[in-house]
Structure 1
Amino acid sequence: MQDTVPLSYFDRDLRINSVRVLPGQYHAMQAEGSISTVLGSCVSTCLWDPVCRIGGMNHFMLPGEAAEPSSPWALSARFGVNAMEVLINTMVHLGADRRRFVAKVFGGARVLQGFERLDVGARNSEFVLSFLREEGIEVLAQDLLGECPRKLHFFPATGKVQLKRLSLRQGDPVQRQEQAYLQGLAGQRGGGEVEIFSK
């Protein structure tokens, strides 16, 4: 279960069709084009089956799982455990074999003001690496923690990831998006190296 359906769009810079994944969303496909996102303290995992060339990406804000399993949001992709499980299951449904999965993980920056005692990014990063280790999924590349937001494009046809580190300014859109997302949650009940690009 994900919060909303990811948006498909044409990326004019890369001149490819892309699917934008926001917090609480995930997407998997076996096609040309990319899956993209912008991360602050959230974490995204890019999973890939190099034989079938099926890949997917998630984007989660909260490590672990819901404190109340009976909550209607307990299976939401906003929680790390569920975000990983739904992505794996979606890829398997498309024909991927989880025994071949490899991963690249990104995000976990310290961008949220007012969360000095609870470093959401560090907790997200620790969670995802622990989950992948326990599942026996090899991490081919990672770019975690730090203070910079990141923009990602993952290409399931090749397993390649393009990463751009963004400068963080006061009132940055990434900060605003994540703070609004957290406030919304509080109000609800219930194959290859990473390529750095500069454009």
Structure 2
Amino acid sequence: MIQIDDAGSGSLVGGTVIGIIRTETLDFYYDIIPVEFFKTPEFEEKKYKDYCIKIIEEGLNELKVSKDEEIEICQGYIFDKARNYLKEKGYKVLSVKISEPLQSIIEETFIDYAIGLGIPLDYLQYTKYPFHFHRLLKWVLADFKKRSEICKTGWSSYKKYSSIKTEHYIDYLYNSNFRCLKCGDIIDAPCKVSVIKFVTNNEYFIYLHENCYSSQ
């Protein structure tokens, strides 16, 4: 049996991984819908759905999937066109909630991809999967000019919060269990730190080395 799923479609940062696996052999194929497809105007035109079909086509060819094999495909919106496409091509398609073995494999694939974008692993673990929007927004606002380029800027939530009012001040940090969200290094407390505060659904505080804020 073949399973098809996505990871990262709910993450503010990065594109979206599309993965395909043959459950009997664990042969795995994946590719990424680039983040550009989640920006204006491509996002509004839903071109990411066409790119999703492109990845699936390539994956089915790579894995040599026959039309006698059953295909389980995720129920998510990103596969709306792909489900119809596969049925029209004569594949046996079931729209289901994807479980193992693909679920864990594709989530780990997206985490590796997100680390490659610069998000520290321990911060990804803190945001929890699927990545928490407001906590990822903290990471983006810590270096907004650079990191906004890898955000899904077509999202209404991004448009709502990307220009949110922030407050900056200097504070003294006694606890060393913090990482500078700009450079990524641990903050060696006790020391002075730069703090960026913003409010969405809660108050959020971004801790930076004092010199990291001044270099923005």
TM-score by length of 2: 0.32
Q: Which has the larger radius of gyration?
A: 2
Structure showing greater relative contact order (alpha-carbon pairs closer than 8 Å, 6 or more residues apart): 1
- Larger % of helix: which? 2
- Larger % of strand: which? 1
